Each structure stands twice: as C-alpha cells, then as structure tokens.
C-alpha cells in the first residue's frame, strides 16, 4: 500500500485545516521544499499537494510551489485545488505534476472533465471524492449533493479513471480514525480500483487497518505534522 503524505498550501506555506475550515488553519512550516525533501529522505515516493488558495479562488494559485517541489525532488506529485479550466490544467502539468486532482468539477462539469480525460489520458487524473453520509460533498464541503458515492465511482470507472481517493468530511483533520466501514464498502464493491483512503488517520494502527480492508494507498497529513506518525516509522514500513 502506498503511503502518500499531504502538503496543503496557503500563501506558499504548509498548513492544515480542520474539516476544511479556513478559519481553523495551523501553519506547520513556511518552507514546503524542506517538508517534501524530508518525506523523500524517509523513502516515500508520492506527494499529495493541495493548493488551498486555488481551491478558494477557483483558479490555480500556488503553481510555483509545485514547480519547485517537482524540480527539486523525485516525488510523484498529484496536485489539486482550483483546476477549473484547461489553462489551469496546463499550468499544473507544465509545472511538473504527474497527476491532476479533480473533485468538485467532476460533479458539476462531468462532460468537460470527460473531455480532459480523453485529451490528456484518464491515467493523468486522480479523482477526489469528498463524502458526507455516503453522499458526495462539493464546494469546500459546504454543499452535499444527492449523488451516492458508489454511483459516482462507478460512473468514472466506466470513463477510465484508475485512481480515486475519498475523504469523509466528518473525519478529516480530527485524528479520530478513518471511516473504515465506508472504505471497506468501496473496496468491496470495486476491487479493481486503485482506492486511496484520506482523512482521520491518527496512527500506524489505522494505516494497517486500511491495508487489511483493501485500500491501495492512504493520504496522511495532520498525523505526521502532529507527531502521531513519525517519518522514522514511515521509513521503516515504506510501501506496506
């Protein structure tokens, strides 16, 4: 299983939000490259990079951070936040992202997203699904749709998506454990999917439980920054 550390960016700095609330942000490091290199030195190979300024603005903002991290580390980076137009997508890929993370747009503009998958290749995209009570949430989790998570995944599997990560918004940033029941249902229904869990991881036990239920990867943010999981521990388990 892939261990994927997360870096969330506001004003070029590494921060974490609690349940997506910009009013509940904490700065962990003002030098994202330093953080990314520490991940790489620990033997991790991927990075989940989120442009929170871009997500709020509806257009990519922190692409310079992406360019620096992609140019000065060997990490495979997926980048999300504010990718709404083809121009944004081109900036992201030209700045060195291996994958573009798409969330709300896949819900609100599915045909345009389908066009991108045809043009760039579905394998270049990481589909993000924010979930509340098994329904898709969008717009920074402020709006819950009537779309069932399982229908959403099925729809995009049919379109060629290979990787999906899912965040239960009730768990994110709380360090209270991930939504094991939800993720077990997803991996059970879609065993062929490269499914990545996100949100709520509080320690190594959570990581092992996610592996046991069939997750192919896990995104870890606050647990690393708060010292619940150390880079030394992650370097030992690597890709479990």
**Residues annotated as part of the active site:** 8, 130
Tokens of 237: 């388990």
How would you classify the pairing of strands 125-132 and 194-198? unpaired
Tokens of 71: 């140019």
* Phi and psi, residue 148, nearest 5°: -75, 140
Which residues, listed in sequence order, are joined to residue 130 by a DSSP beta bridge? Answer: 137, 167
Between the CA atoms of 184, 16, 9 and 60, what dihedral angle is there, to the nearest 10 degrees?
A: 50
Instruction: Please list, in sequence order, all residues whose beta carbon lies within 8 angstroms of the beta carbon of residue 202, skipping any fewer than 6 positions away.
Output: 175, 176, 177, 223, 228
Cα(53)–Cα(191) distance, rounded to whole angstroms? 35
Please classify residue 55 by burial: count the beta carbons closer than 10 Å to its beta carbon, then call 0-12 exposed, 13-18 middle and 19+ buried. Answer: buried
Cα(25)–Cα(15) distance, rounded to whole angstroms? 6
Instruction: Please list, in sequence order, all residues whose beta carbon lies within 8 angstroms of the beta carbon of residue 4, skipping any fewer than 6 positions away.
Output: 44, 46, 47, 48, 196, 217, 218, 219, 220
Report yes or no: 53 and 61 within 8 Å, Cβ to Cβ. Answer: yes
Tokens of 97: 């992202």
């Amino acid at each position: 299983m892939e261990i994927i550390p997360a870096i969330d960016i506001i004003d070029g700095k590494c921060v974490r939000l609690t349940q997506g609330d910009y009013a509940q942000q904490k700065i962990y490091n003002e030098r994202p490259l330093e953080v990314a290199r520490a991940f790489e030195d620990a033997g991790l190979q991927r990075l989940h990079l989120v442009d929170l300024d871009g997500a709020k603005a509806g257009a990519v903002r922190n692409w310079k951070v992406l360019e620096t991290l992609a140019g000065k580390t060997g990490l495979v980076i997926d980048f999300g936040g504010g990718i709404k137009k083809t121009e944004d997508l081109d900036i992201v890929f030209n700045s060195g992202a291996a994958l573009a993370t798409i969330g709300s747009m896949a819900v609100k503009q599915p045909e345009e997203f389908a066009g991108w998958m045809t043009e760039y290749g579905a394998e270049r995209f990481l589909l993000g699904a924010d979930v509340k009570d098994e329904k898709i949430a969008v717009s920074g989790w402020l709006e819950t749709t009537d779309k069932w998570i399982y229908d959403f995944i099925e729809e995009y599997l049919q379109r060629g998506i290979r990787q999906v990560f899912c965040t239960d918004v009730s768990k994110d940033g709380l360090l209270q454990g991930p939504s094991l029941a939800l993720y077990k249902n997803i991996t059970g229904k879609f065993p062929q999917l490269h499914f990545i869990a996100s949100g709520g991881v509080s320690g190594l036990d959570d990581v092992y439980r996610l592996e046991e239920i069939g997750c192919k990867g896990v995104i870890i943010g606050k647990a690393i920054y708060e010292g619940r999981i150390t880079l030394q521990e992650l370097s030992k388990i690597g890709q479990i």
